[in-house]
């Protein structure tokens, strides 16, 4: 059956939040119970923020938002990692958040008992169509 005139499209996402990297361009380990703040970033114009991450320790991602990049930030979301699989000691996260203010920052906290040796996290923005 002929589908007719079809245009393949792909929605562009912008990377907004990434873990800090060292001089070797590798992500720096996260010490236990030590939060890392990323941002603030302008999120006005994004319909959704997406967070994907994998670490060898449990972790949280807290989204805080404000109307001004130097204003008072307030928590709008708190995401907690889950076990990557029953046979794995790793943790994973895949979450979505709809921003409500103009600016957002992310606080990533290693909630495990030791420093991470494997840590990957990206937060991207899906623009409003």
- Write down how long the chain is: 129
pTM attached to this predicted model: 0.86
Per-residue pLDDT reduced to its tens digit, 13-34: 899 999 988 877 778 899 999 8
State the number of CA atoms in the 13 A half-sphere of 129 facing the CB. Answer: 3
Per-residue pLDDT reduced to its tens digit, 46-85: 999 999 999 999 999 999 999 999 999 999 999 999 987 7
CA distance 122 to 65: 18
DSSP annotation of 29: P
CA distance 126 to 129: 9
Cα–Cα distance list, 51 to 4, 5, 72, 88 (Å): 36, 34, 23, 21
Q: Which residue ranges form the domains of the chain, and what is each CATH number?
A: 14-127 (2.60.120.680)
């Amino acid at each position: 059956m002929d589908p007719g005139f079809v245009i393949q499209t792909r929605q562009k996402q912008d990377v907004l939040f990434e873990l800090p990297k060292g001089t070797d361009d590798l992500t720096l380990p996260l010490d236990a119970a030590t939060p890392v703040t990323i941002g603030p970033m302008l999120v006005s114009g994004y319909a959704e923020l997406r967070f994907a991450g994998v670490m060898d320790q449990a972790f949280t991602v807290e989204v805080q938002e404000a109307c001004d990049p130097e204003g008072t930030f307030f928590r709008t979301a708190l995401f907690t990692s889950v076990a990557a699989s029953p046979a794995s000691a790793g943790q994973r996260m895949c979450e979505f958040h709809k921003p409500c203010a103009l600016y957002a920052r992310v606080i990533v906290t290693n909630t495990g008992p030791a420093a991470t040796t494997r840590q990957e996290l990206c937060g991207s923005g899906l623009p409003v169509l």
